[in-house]
Chains A and B, each alone.
Chain A
Amino acid sequence: MTRQPDPFAKVPPIAMFALVAFFCLAPVALHVGCATGKGQLTPSTGVYDPNVMASTLVVTAENVRELALDAFDNFARLERANRAALMKVDPKIHQAAEVVRRDGKKYLDALTAAKVAFQNDRSQANATALTSALASVQSLLRDTVRYISEIATKKGTP
């Protein structure tokens, strides 16, 4: 049985990095620019008041959640489709993808829960909890990009 040549075998690590980074960061570029306008939701009552200023924290959480979902989706899809080639670049990229697959939903669900709690009771305590959940999602997002960057740097350094 002859082994099929790996189509990514000759792809330089820097090109692979650029490809992966593009899929991770493209959602960021598409979501640039979303400050608060009007419109405030109270989930417990289902009331949406279009005349009240939205919370910056809530809008930020909703946007970070959205772009994180896109980034996790793109990263996991790319990693799974090119696992063999990326494992040759560095196994860490697979480990990073596994973290996203295993913990990504938990982080996003925690962010949603904190957001809903804050929208129902806009207290300082709930704002602090939402900020913390937001930081966790941002951290996972940053880690994903950092892993890929570290891999590219390590493999490309002579």
Chain B
Amino acid sequence: MTALLPLIFELAEWLAMSIPKWIAAGRAKGELTAEQEAEYQSRQAAIFGKDYMQPDP
């Protein structure tokens, strides 16, 4: 199992580095509308308001 760890490490790094490429290579999509932007902001506020998102005092 430990022999696979370097591979997993590389895979995770590769996945993280590939995010922008995947986005750029995908399907067509316009910019968010004002309503969609408001929805995102509402969702972000809700997530960062959760108990588990509060840092240690």
Query: What is the chain B residue whose CB lies nearest that of A37?
Result: B28
Given known contacts A141-B19, A142-B16, A148-B12, A35 and B37 CB-to-CB distance under 8 angstroms: no
> Which single member of B2, B9, B41 contacts A149 (CB below 8 Å)?
B9
Cβ of A111 to closest chain B Cβ, rounded Å: 11
Over the window 14-57 of chain A, the binary record of Cβ atoms lying under 8 Å from chain B Cβ atoms (1 yes, 0 no) is 10011001000100100111111111110100101010001110
Is A98 among interface residues, defined by CB-CB distance under 8 A?
yes
* A interface SS class: helix
Does A35 contact B29, Cβ atoms closer than 8 Å? Answer: yes
Whole-angstrom distance between the alpha carbons of A77 and B28 in the complex? 32
Given known contacts A76-B52, A76-B53, A69 and B44 CB-to-CB distance under 8 angstroms: yes
Does A37 contact B30, Cβ atoms closer than 8 Å? Answer: yes
Q: Which of A3-11, A85-93, A99-107 contacts B (4 or more CB under 8 A)?
A: A99-107
Query: What A residues does B31 contact at CB under 8 A?
Result: 39-41, 48, 54-55, 58-59, 62, 119
| Contacts of B3-24 to chain A: CB distance below 8 A | 4-6, 8-9, 12-13, 15-17, 19-20, 22-24
Chain B residues packing against A (C-beta within 8 Å): 1-2, 4-6, 8-9, 12-13, 15-17, 19-20, 22-34, 37, 40-41, 43-44, 47-48, 50-56
19 contacts between A and B (CB under 8 A): A14-B8, A21-B8, A25-B16, A32-B22, A34-B26, A37-B30, A39-B30, A41-B37, A46-B34, A54-B31, A66-B40, A67-B19, A69-B43, A105-B48, A119-B31, A138-B20, A141-B19, A146-B13, A157-B2
